[in-house]
């Protein structure tokens, strides 16, 4: 008899230990199929990674061909064709000042390496006093300890606070929950809050500022206004602070541009991190992008980044990502993310009319839907109701996969879900997404007791 796919009946240490998980046996395009024959519309690309869609055989074939030649070499002793070619492809897509790529396996690793690179750069420039970091709240950059330190996820950090590095936080641009009503001098929305944080920390001691160019799940795809990063770039330059753009979620075409920061001309970062959709979700691969400004200092100093992972620059993984990037280019999928993204955002906007939906926002193939107890006051649901988690499960029951997040309203309360489908999604599938979302919301509101109803 087949064992249940849940803890403790299975031998897998699951990410969710409190429920049974469907066994996915196949994926095709925007759809997943489980062992019971049910199908699910993958409306979040798993975890924002499946931008090409499921079942793209060319990627597996490219990886198998590479593994048939050589599967692994140590990146401290050798280079390999796949890494060389992948770096060359990325250099054609990225700003010239970010033309060198260091390959790792996850977004957290890339952020960890980028922050270490920033520190090493200043030490090798003779500025060892630059030790501090500035980030934004809400915000998220990963789960390794330094990446978690620059994140603002209280429910993630609660257990590990004593292990984390203190980081100066600036309020993130979050128009839906900002009280400024669009005022041009708003510190959060204009970027001046970043300067205030740098000044609090002491500019001579700040090594880097890190931010997601387009808000990820922590702010539900909030898009900063047009002058935000121009201001941030000027602030960082004036105070000699490196600007790190965390493009792990919003990069690789997700926003309708190869990098999310490209929506802000002239605001070129010093270091960029990428991951998730960079390999289309087919292998765990991430990258740190930098250029001569940073790397010349290291090359002329110690000669190497003081950060290493066993599978950095792995030929097998790089071969899969190389195939994915070439398919993104040859099939014009970034352009498709921009054009179909307009359709997606327009059709999702209709969700604002549903009960408990406070806001729908986003850009390209990235959107967030924020739930509220009261639409007028924007009061969130009490955290103990676990609205986002309940909605995620009811959506799965309805054959829809979304990504939940919580705590964005005040650090504890707040519920939203993210929508980030493969770039190949059709108009009919977008309509199906909206219909299944509505069904899931109705079931969620029927399940969760809300005294007085929804305002």
pLDDT of 110-143, one tens digit each?
Answer: 999 999 999 999 999 999 999 999 999 999 999 9
Residues 215 and 310 in one domain: yes
Three-state secondary structure call for residue 298: helix
Alpha carbon of residue 155 to chain centroid? 18
Residues 441 and 418 in one domain: yes
Q: CB neighbours of 11 closer than 8 A, spacing ≥ 6?
A: none
| 223 located within any domain | yes
Residues 271 and 310 in one domain: yes
Given the structure tokens 């409306």, which residue do they identify? 43
Report the side by side order of strands in the sheet with 366-371. Answer: 357-363, 366-371, 415-419, 403-406
Residues 134 and 32 in one domain: no
Domain final position from 330, 358, 386? 330
| 15 located within any domain | no
Residues 36 and 105 in one domain: no
b (16+ CB within 10 A) / e for 418-442: bbbbbbbbeeebbebbbebbbbbbe
d(CA 253, CA 37): 32
pLDDT digit string, tens, across residues 326-366: 999 999 999 999 999 999 999 999 999 999 999 999 999 99
| 9 located within any domain | no
Domain final position from 270, 295, 330? 330
Kindly tell me the sign of the dihedral angle through the C-alpha atoms of 308, 313, 316, 322: positive
Residues 290 and 273 in one domain: yes
Residues 101 and 113 in one domain: yes
User: Is beta strand 357-363 parallel, antiparallel or unpaired with respect to 366-371?
Assistant: antiparallel
Domain final position from 330, 352, 368? 330
Residues 76 and 38 in one domain: no
Name the β-bridge partners of 368. 361, 418
- Identify the pLDDT of residue 455: 45
| 81 located within any domain | yes
| 398 located within any domain | yes
Residues 149 and 201 in one domain: yes
**CATH number of the domain encompassing residue 436:** 3.90.1150.10
pLDDT along the chain (455 residues), means of 10: 80 93 97 96 97 97 97 95 98 94 97 98 98 97 96 89 96 94 90 98 98 96 97 98 98 98 96 97 97 97 94 96 98 98 98 96 98 95 96 98 96 96 98 98 88 51
Helix axes 333-348, 427-447, angle to 10 degrees: 40
Kindly tell me the sign of the dihedral angle through the C-alpha atoms of 428, 263, 150, 189: negative
Structural domain including 196 reads 58-330
Given the structure tokens 């929305």, which residue do they identify? 189
pTM exceeding the 0.75 threshold for the entire prediction: yes
d(CA 143, CA 412): 18
75 in Cβ contact with 310 (< 8 Å): no
**CATH number of the domain encompassing residue 147:** 3.40.640.10
Three-state secondary structure call for residue 85: helix
Kindly tell me the sign of the dihedral angle through the C-alpha atoms of 294, 298, 299, 300: positive
Report the side by side order of strands in the sheet with 39-42. Answer: 24-28, 31-34, 39-42, 400-401
Name the β-bridge partners of 442. none
234 in Cβ contact with 381 (< 8 Å): no
- In residues, how long is the chain? 455
| 13 located within any domain | no
- Identify the pLDDT of residue 1: 45
Backbone dihedral angles phi then psi of residue 362, each to the nearest 5 degrees: 155, -170
Domain total of the chain = 2
| 455 located within any domain | no
- Identify the pLDDT of residue 154: 87
| 6 located within any domain | no
Residues 72 and 38 in one domain: no
425 in Cβ contact with 344 (< 8 Å): yes
Residues 348 and 235 in one domain: no
Residues 47 and 110 in one domain: no
């Amino acid at each position: 008899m087949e064992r249940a796919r849940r803890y403790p009946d299975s031998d897998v240490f699951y990410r969710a230990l409190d429920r049974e998980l469907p066994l996915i046996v196949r994926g095709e395009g925007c759809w997943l199929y489980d062992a019971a024959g049910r199908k699910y519309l993958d409306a979040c690309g798993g975890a924002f990674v499946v931008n090409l869609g499921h079942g793209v055989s060319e990627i597996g074939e490219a990886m198998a061909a590479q593994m048939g030649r050589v599967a692994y070499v140590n990146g401290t002793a050798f280079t390999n064709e796949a890494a060389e070619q992948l770096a060359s492809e990325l250099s054609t897509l990225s700003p010239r000042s970010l033309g060198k790529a260091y390959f790792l396996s996850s977004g957290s690793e890339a952020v960890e390496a980028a922050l270490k690179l920033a520190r090493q750069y200043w030490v090798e420039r003779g500025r060892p006093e630059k030790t501090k970091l500035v980030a934004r709240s809400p915000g998220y950059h990963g789960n390794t300890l330094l990446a978690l330190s620059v994140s603002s996820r209280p429910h993630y950090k609660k257990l590990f606070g004593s292990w984390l590095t203190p980081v100066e936080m600036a309020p993130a641009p979050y128009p839906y929950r900002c009280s400024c009503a669009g005022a041009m001098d708003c510190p959060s929305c204009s970027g001046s809050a970043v300067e205030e944080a740098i000044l609090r920390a002491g500019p001579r001691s700040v090594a880097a500022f890190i931010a997601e160019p387009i808000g990820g799940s922590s702010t539900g795809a909030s898009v900063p206004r047009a002058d935000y990063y121009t201001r941030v770039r000027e602030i960082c330059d004036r105070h000699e602070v490196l600007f790190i753009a965390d493009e792990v979620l919003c990069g690789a075409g997700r926003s309708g541009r190869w990098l999310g920061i490209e929506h802000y001309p002239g605001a070129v970062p010093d270091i960029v991190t990428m991951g998730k959709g960079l390999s289309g979700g087919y292998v765990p691969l991430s990258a740190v992008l930098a250029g001569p400004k940073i790397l010349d200092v290291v090359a002329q100093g110690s000669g190497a980044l003081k950060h290493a992972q066993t599978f950095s620059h792995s030929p097998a993984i790089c071969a899969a990502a190389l195939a994915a990037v070439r398919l993104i280019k040859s099939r014009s999928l970034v352009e498709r993310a921009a054009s179909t993204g307009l359709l997606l955002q327009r059709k999702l906007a209709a969700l604002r009319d549903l009960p408990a939906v406070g806001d729908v926002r986003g850009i390209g193939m990235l959107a967030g839907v924020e739930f509220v107890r009261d639409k007028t006051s924007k009061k969130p649901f009490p955290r103990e109701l676990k609205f986002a988690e309940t909605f995620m499960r009811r959506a799965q029951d309805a054959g829809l996969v979304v990504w939940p997040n919580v705590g964005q309203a005040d650090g504890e309360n707040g519920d939203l879900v993210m929508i980030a489908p493969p770039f190949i999604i059709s108009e009919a599938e977008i309509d199906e997404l909206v219909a299944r979302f509505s069904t899931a919301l109705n079931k969620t509101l029927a399940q969760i007791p809300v005294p007085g109803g929804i305002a």
